[in-house]
Structure 1
Amino acid sequence: MSHSNASPKYRLAVSAGLDYDHAKHQSVQVNGETLRLEDDRASFDLNVRIQDYTGYPDSSPKTSPYFEHPLHKNDQYSICFTFTPKQDINGNDLVFGNDFDKPLRHRLPPGFNAALRVVKWTIDSSLDGDAYADKPYLYSPALASWNQFRIGEKGQAQSSLMEKDLVVEEGADGQGLEERSKLDIPSTAAERQKFFQKEKNRESFVFEIGRTYMADFGNQYLSFSETAIRLPGIHIPVSGMVDEDNHELRYVLKDNKTGEVYLVVSYNLIKQDSENAAQEESK
């Protein structure tokens, strides 16, 4: 149910899966239990956190201890996961970002291009894409885009790789320390992101079969409670971009060379006078 007196026009529901097919996705309990996803290519433990959350399912806590951590007191959301590939993947091939099945250009608000320039200047200079294409996309090299990145060990037990309140911090565990040292990967998150903005550094990195990696992505600029993008000097209401064709924001981890998708986290705005709202209530 809503946490405000006025009924919202939309409520958020988050799902996740290993490809784009919504029929195969699982519902995510935001700020709650870890979701395990696995196939013959990789395994993931996923936590999604959203500050001041009022969406589905109703069992989702409104917030998470994550937002009390010194690294995240200003953040509005987080996609945090472990990633254990079952084949080697070159670091230059893996991208992370947003894509869409249908055009957005007729729904993009004034100031959107300015907002993108601000993002590239202040947040992620390696961001690449075309928001005005028939199938819009905005991707960054995964190694350069994740806010926190941690290299783990090979052969870690798969039972509890990600506790629901775990905060991933930049660094490494066990043999992962040697991997970071071997490639001269900087120890701080900001310097690591800058390091992997160079293609030659990404090409020298391999996501190894059987090794567990941890990543966290989020920021203070996308507010799901207000359904708005908030950048310095720019406020873009996301609800104005929602219609029958466009009501989903998805984050995708994929191989940009082959097009193979590994992980999809889908944020769906559910209209409250629709049959979809009743369906979400029943989940």
Structure 2
Amino acid sequence: MAPPRKPEDYTLRVTAGPTYDLSTHVEVPINSSRLTHIESLEGMDIDLNVRIQNYRGLPRGSNETSPYFEREPHRYNKDQYSIGLQFTPKAPSHGNSKAKVNGSGNGNRDENGSAATEASEGRGSMVNNEKDVKEEGEAETDQEGHQPQGIPASDLQFGNDFDHPIRNYLPPGVNTAMNILKWWIDPGLEGDAYADEPFLYGPALSSFNSVRVGAGEHDEEGGCGLWVEEGASSSESESESEDESGEDDKKAATAKAKSSDNGTNDNSNNNNSNNNNNNNNNNKPKRTSGKKWREEVLKGSWVGNDAKKRQKWALKEDSKKKWVWEYGRTYSVDFYNPYIDFGKCELKLPGFGVNVLRYWDGETGLRYVLRNRLTKKPYLVILFTLYPNDMVNEDGTLKPEALKATARASGGGKNETDGAKATSTDAHASGNGAAKKDGDKDGFDEDKAMEEARGKLEGVKLGDGPTGGSGGDDDVD
């Protein structure tokens, strides 16, 4: 029998990019105040900040923790990780999509206008087989046939997905864990862990713990990084981007490409472009401040700047129509919780705990995705991957076998034969079968777990059972 896996025998690496393709990813600095800028010219500009307690991973020399975790509410919550984002949606265009990633950590855009790549890391793709996929470039319209001036709250999703089955590696009690998540922690979640392509998604508006209309605070000196306070900016400039569609970036990238091809440093195109853009921007109506925008959207709801009330309000269908992530406007969000301990490789839900290494297949990573519900196309993909220590060189680079394993686990060649071609009916049958065994396998007691979860979460106001968050008498309209 092989010896049990120990967390200290593995090294964690976090990468991020605008697609599932790993060649578009860069390594993300952890517990750093520096931001990683990720840009898809047809989707969204994003600044990313990831913080992890008791971090043991790449890049070498990373801090084990961040001052972020000493600030409230994170100290009280004993939060274990945070994914902070500052993003600006862009109106979709119908040209060829390009992506730019700046992994230098300074939050600036790629001066060369090209994607930073790690081609040797292999390529992965997400196979989209969900029924409501729209053709590329096709936009959602309202009842009057008008295209929205942003992304409706129902269509911007945040969550996890996999592009191959993981049902054979799931621990006992997964269905119970899913119920705990959905009933008491985030009632907006929908998912299927037993599907051929497992997923767990919820509307971003109800999934993120903190949502700010406008730029967040960038605490670089204190080392905290991106700090997101629930609410909105009262400044127009902090809530807007002059370039709603990304046309400025496209023109600049085209001009630079031409200059490079000709071997000259021709600034005339850039000057003309800037003059035209200034004229166009002068004709645009001035954008309202984030504070006014948020107050207008939440009018009559009594939500104010209360994060819990906003999460509950966001679960209502009418609310999802009112809140539209506006093109050209900047938003800041933060996702955090105490449920995943990356240092110990444990999942710790109230009433449910599991050592992940015991059931891990040795390759599959944890993937967080910000995506469009209609197109299934991602704006941001963040991949958390564990590597055996002997697969990581002293300088922090990965050995070839580690790169190949990552590519396989992310869809770039993994041969999943057992159940990979099962129909959706078979997949659900497998799930139901596993659920029935939850009470027998490894001594897992579902009733006891649920009772413990109820006891620990009885003060949580987001949900009171299967219908939690979507109804009941409260002061959130």
Q: Is the 8 A contact 2:192 2:200 kept in 1?
A: yes
Aligned match of 1:183: 297
Structure 2 residue identity aligned to 1:265: I
Q: Is the 8 A contact 2:167 2:193 kept in 1?
A: yes
The percentage of counterpart residues that share the same residue type is: 44
Instruction: Please give the secondary structure, in 2, of the residue aligned with 1:178.
Output: helix
CA RMSD of aligned residues (A): 2.0
Which residue, 157, 174, 180 being the options, matches 1:118?
180
- Aligned equivalents of 2:7, 2:19: Cα separation in 1: 33
- Aligned equivalents of 1:17, 1:193: Cα separation in 2: 27
Aligned match of 2:355: 237
Aligned match of 1:173: 233
Aligned match of 2:44: 42
Deviations 1:203-243 (A, max 9, x none): 22111111100000010111101111111222111112322
Q: Is the 8 A contact 1:107 1:240 kept in 2?
A: no
TM-score (norm 2): 0.54
Q: CA deviation at 1:94?
A: 0.6
Structure 1 residue identity aligned to 2:185: I
Q: Is the 8 A contact 1:105 1:131 kept in 2?
A: yes
- Residue 94 (str. 1) matches residue 156 (str. 2): yes
- Aligned equivalents of 1:59, 1:123: Cα separation in 2: 34
Q: Higher strand fraction: Structure 1 or Structure 2?
A: 1
Name the stretch that deviates more: 59-68 or 162-171.
Answer: 162-171
Q: How many residues end up aligned between the 2 structures?
A: 270
Instruction: Please give the secondary structure, in 2, of the residue aligned with 1:203.
Output: helix
Q: Higher helix fraction: Structure 1 or Structure 2?
A: 2
Q: Is the 8 A contact 1:76 1:218 kept in 2?
A: yes
Q: Is the 8 A contact 2:348 2:354 kept in 1?
A: yes
Q: Is the 8 A contact 1:130 1:137 kept in 2?
A: yes
Q: Is the 8 A contact 1:82 1:161 kept in 2?
A: no
Q: CA deviation at 1:115?
A: 1.1
Moved over 6 A (4+): none
Q: Is the 8 A contact 2:13 2:384 kept in 1?
A: yes
Q: CA deviation at 1:20?
A: 0.5
Structure 1 residue identity aligned to 2:197: K
Q: Is the 8 A contact 2:30 2:63 kept in 1?
A: yes
Aligned match of 2:115: none
Name the stretch that deviates more: 160-169 or 223-232.
Answer: 160-169
Instruction: Please give the secondary structure, in 2, of the residue aligned with 1:218.
Output: strand
Q: CA deviation at 1:179?
A: 1.2
Alignment of 1:1-283 (within 5 A): 8-32=8-32, 33-40=34-41, 41-73=43-75, 74-87=78-91, 88-152=150-214, 163=220, 165-174=225-234, 175-184=289-298, 186=303, 187-244=305-362, 246-274=363-391, 277-278=392-393, 281-282=396-397
Highest CA radius of gyration, 1 or 2?
A: 2
- Aligned equivalents of 1:141, 1:109: Cα separation in 2: 26
Residues 116 and 7 (structure 1), Cα distance of their counterparts in 2 relative to 1, 3 Å cut: closer
TM-score (norm 1): 0.90
Name the stretch that deviates more: 126-135 or 31-40.
Answer: 31-40
